[in-house]
Structure 1
Amino acid sequence: MIEKYSIRTDLALEQKERFESDNVEVQGVVLEESYDEEREIRITTVKIETEKGAKTMGKPVGTYITMEAPNMAVPDEGYHEEVSKELMKFLQRFLDKDKKDYSVLVVGLGNRMVTPDALGPYVADNLNITRHIVKEYGKYAMGEEEVHLVSSIVPGVMAQTGMETVEIIRGVVKETEPDIIIAVDALAARSSKRLNRTIQIADTGINPGSGVGNHRNAITEETVGVPVIAIGVPTVVDAATIVNDTMENLIAALETSETLRGVGVVMQGYNAAEKYELVKELISPHLNGMFVTPKDIDETVKRISFTISEALNMLFA
């Protein structure tokens, strides 16, 4: 029953919530939560520790850190600076503290021509790139004792290049030999309230396009040869999800209506996944493959991309 229904989301947190709503305990998956009241940032860490847990969750074994910051959608520079600092701290967890000079390749995934998918390219635009300077003049040209080599690439999408993204990255890794890859991509969410307000960091790599059903080859340590940290922000939500949430509100309203209460009781007999599947059937074929994004997505994506690039610039300064 669990495997039959899959709610479309890239967030490990939402996968875990889905099972909790159905009162299903996932073996081998640990959840840790904390809340910073001052900054209004909720941190949720999902650790998938076993292969069985990975199979149930539909995600690889590893650590998934989710930062939920409702005010991230607001153009407040001071707040975004706080988010950048928090993001930098969590990224540090995945780095070797004893290593002094990191060579890092930042990969901006996505299509620059499609605004909700342009997060990765925009992040790459705002990075402090140093590899070419250090290679040419030495690290002392930067005026520092310790200098990280930062390079970036925006590989585009298959429709533009005719190549799998992982093939391009393998070639770059072979030539430049980075110690680590940081891949930045736009994600799909299950909940519209998390759009442009959530950042997920994972040490498991990334599957470009998986959230919108456009599965491409994974970018992981196994496929490219170096560790891959993934940073993602949900920018789109499945149309079926919006209709499903509307239906949930309708059921709640029906409960208060004397004449229509019976309809609400019938619908309450469905679990969350069954309701979602019913909605998909009701709206197909016209809305079934549709994804929705907020109307101010162009300015929001630019702002959030700057927040992420600032975290990376501070981390590798």
Structure 2
Amino acid sequence: MAFRTDLALEAYEAVADEQENRLIVEEEEINEFTLKKIHVNKETSVFTGKKEGDYWTFEAPQLRTQNEEWVEKAATALSYVIRSFLKKLHIHDDAPVLIAGLGNWQITPDALGPDVCRKVFVTNHLFEVEPQAISGGFRRTAALAPGVMGLTGMETAATLKGVIEQYKPAAVIVIDALAARSASRLHTTVQISSAGINPGAGVGNNRQEINSELFGVPVIAIGIPTVVDAASITHDTLGYFEKTMKMKSKKDRKPSSLLLTKPSVEELNSNQANPEEKSTYLGLIGELTEEEKQQLFQEILSPIGQNLIVTPKETDLYIKQASDMLASALDHALHHPEETF
């Protein structure tokens, strides 16, 4: 697959036209947000490049507004999604859970996991030293930010395996920052997966895989995209150019009118150019398939060291917002199981 993404939904979307009959995406609305469910089996794993398992994608574009009200609403809806995922994996309400925050806390776009670990409500020690302080509805939870090999000199998977052997949780929830194929998904999408996670894979720094086979207990990977590569941004820019030209051709054929246009992303996406128009707008590049374009940009930028990994300039604010939302969602999903939505 030419493009880089940690999101199974993006991998599915990239091959949707070719594999239409074999791709099934279940979609449902949860409050004001969208949840898309994908199951990757042995067959679909081959052409998506994703491990077998369930992938749920929670979409909340409202988060880009940085409005605290939307953060609270998203956290409430996401807690319901996480709880539903735990039930699907048959993880009981009183089963002990270890939350592992992957990533490097010294690098802002990679600090999501450690930030979540700082904010979640942990109870394991209370069960040990002050059990009378724990009322019904709480489960044993522990949190650990194991760092990265560059900081500790140890594989993250090995560190976690030792803790799991000592603590013996019924499940492990790993939190990590992801890489996306599209900039529009940065800090607006949450992926929940039963397939484990390969730390650093999104930025080409593959470490030992973290999964249920290694740990012997279910592993739920929860991630939010925080970075995208330059080739993907170039690809998206050309796509928006095609759609802008298509939109303007309906209104005014004067090229100067393009400078006065301030369309929304939704408006642009509703103006998909046909193959002939793409060829007219972009010449030879317009005749390439989407995957061929992505491959071309990677082949141009990578050898000269320009396929940079990019994050929004507001990433510090987004990371704080995302970690607040995830910590709140986890607290409500793991504790007070009698609560309903």
Confirm or deny a common fold (TM above 0.5): yes
Superposed displacement of residue 57, structure 1:
1.2
Give unpaired runs (5+ residues) of structure 2. Answer: 256-277, 336-341
Superposed displacement of residue 269, structure 1:
2.1
Is 1:14 aligned to 2:5, yes or no? no
Give unpaired runs (5+ residues) of structure 1. Answer: none
Cα 1:254/1:84, change in 2 over 3 Å: closer
Output one character per residue of 1:133-169: Cα deviation in whole Å (capped at 9) or x when no partner.
111222x322x13430110110100111111111001
| Structure 1 Cα separation of the partners of residues 279 and 235 of structure 2 | 19
Is 1:282 aligned to 2:276, yes or no? no
Q: Does the 8 Å contact 1:239/1:287 carry over to 2?
A: no
Is 1:109 aligned to 2:127, yes or no? no
Greater fraction helix: 2
Aligned to 1:74: 65
* Partner-residue secondary structure (3-state), 1:92: helix
Identity %: 36
The code of the aligned residue for 2:94 comes to D
Is 1:270 aligned to 2:288, yes or no? yes
Superposed displacement of residue 267, structure 1:
2.4
Aligned to 1:227: 218
Q: Does the 8 Å contact 1:115/1:301 carry over to 2?
A: yes
| Structure 2 Cα separation of the partners of residues 277 and 263 of structure 1 | 20
* Partner-residue secondary structure (3-state), 1:67: strand
Aligned to 2:133: 141
The two structures have a TM-score, normalised by structure 2, of: 0.83
The code of the aligned residue for 2:299 comes to E
Aligned to 1:34: 28
Cα 1:158/1:251, change in 2 over 3 Å: same
Aligned to 1:316: 334
Aligned to 2:37: 45
1:1-317 correspondence runs (5 A): 5-20=1-16, 23-25=17-19, 29-35=23-29, 39=32, 41-48=33-40, 50-96=41-87, 99-138=92-131, 140-142=132-134, 144-251=135-242, 262=280, 264-317=282-335
| Structure 2 Cα separation of the partners of residues 6 and 283 of structure 1 | 13
The root-mean-square deviation of aligned C-alpha atoms, in Å, is: 2.3
Cα 1:102/1:286, change in 2 over 3 Å: same
Superposed displacement of residue 251, structure 1:
4.7
